[in-house]
Amino acid sequence: MTWTPAWAWQFAEGHRSEVEGLGLAGPISRDWAWDGATGAGVKVAVIDSGVEDGHPAVGRLAGAVAVEIDGETGETVYVDGPHEDRFGHGTACAGLVRRAAPDCDLYSVRVLGANLRGRAAVFAAGVRWALANGMQVANLSLGTGRASQFSAFHRLADEAYFAGCTLVCAVNNMPAPSYPSEFAAVMSVASIRGSDPFEYYYNPAPPAEFGAPGIGVEVPWTAGRTIHATGNSFAAPHITGLIARLLSKHPGLTPFQVKTVLHALASNAR
């Protein structure tokens, strides 16, 4: 009798899952992907320094949580409720998401301090909160370069992928590794010049798969201000907003399908 390898049962008759295709009658188009969509009904987590609730460019948040270290136990804890942006970085990212997806449900997940630094355990806990609370997209304009965190964040990126949460990660501003942006399970993003949120490019070579506006872009900041800033951090939320817009029109697309659509609609796609 022929032996059956592990996991083969998942594809046997009676066990195979029903999966949804894209349902297209023709090629993937921008009209099909985004026309008439606003991001409504899509939950987006901005995992960062906090987001200024009510900022004119951000509007009202759907929720907020701060991830902190308990001084007695040393464990990560979640503190629900409104909080300030400790730097301005998270507000900038949230405002950029809004430009492409004005009606998405934005959640602030604060994991960074006033110096834009944080602990890997807190960062990872913020991503886990996003997965546990049904976020469909998470903007990660941050990362860790510690090689000791490679495996932990690799597992976390895969968990998000199979949970149906698309992680959009800014690559390092310097030519050095940063996790989880190095992993194929996420959407890795670097900067291009420009301001049109619908202008972006695909790159088949690592580390950055997508290029979006992030050089000299106008972004919201704390105290209701706006500034001009440069960094891969500000390219990632452009892609996050487009994904939220896509998912509001085509709910249920997997991260794999989302990446397929963005690949097909990139400004340099033939």
pLDDT digits (tens, 9 = 90+) for 78-115: 999 999 999 999 999 999 999 999 999 999 999 999 99
Residue 234: closest CA among 92, 51, 118, 78: 92
Q: Amino acid identity of 136?
A: Q
Domain-embedded: residue 18: no
Q: What is the CATH number of the domain that holds 102?
A: 3.40.50.200
**Omega of the bond leading into 27 within 30 degrees of 0 (cis):** no
> Is 254 contained in some domain?
yes
- In DSSP terms, 201 is beta-bridged to 211
The answer to whether residue 31 sits within a structural domain is no
pLDDT of 27 reads 87
Domain count, the chain: 1
Within the chain, residue ranges assigned H as helices are 30-34, 89-100, 120-132, 150-163, 236-249, 255-265
Cβ atoms of 83 and 108 within 8 Å: the answer is yes
Q: State whether residue 164 is helix, strand or coil.
A: coil
| Helix, strand, coil distribution of the chain in percent, nearest 5 | 30, 20, 50
Tell me whether residue 179 is in a domain: yes
Distance (Å, whole) CA 24 – CA 168: 25
Phi, psi angles (nearest 5°) of residue 252: 95, -5
pLDDT for res 196: 94
Question: Does the residue 121 lie in any domain?
Answer: yes
- What is the span of the domain harbouring residue 108? 43-265
What is the distance between the alpha carbons of residues 36 and 38, in angstroms, rounded to a whole number? 7
User: What pLDDT sits at residue 165?
Assistant: 98
Q: What are phi and psi of 18, to 5 degrees?
A: -80, 130
Q: Which residues of the chain have pLDDT under 50?
A: none
258 in a structural domain = yes
The CA-atom distances, in angstroms, between 3 and each of 6, 8, 9 are 10, 10, 12
Task: Say if 191 falls within a structural domain.
Answer: yes
Q: At what angle do helices 89-100 and 236-249 cross, to 10 degrees?
A: 40
Looking at residue 25, what is its pLDDT?
74
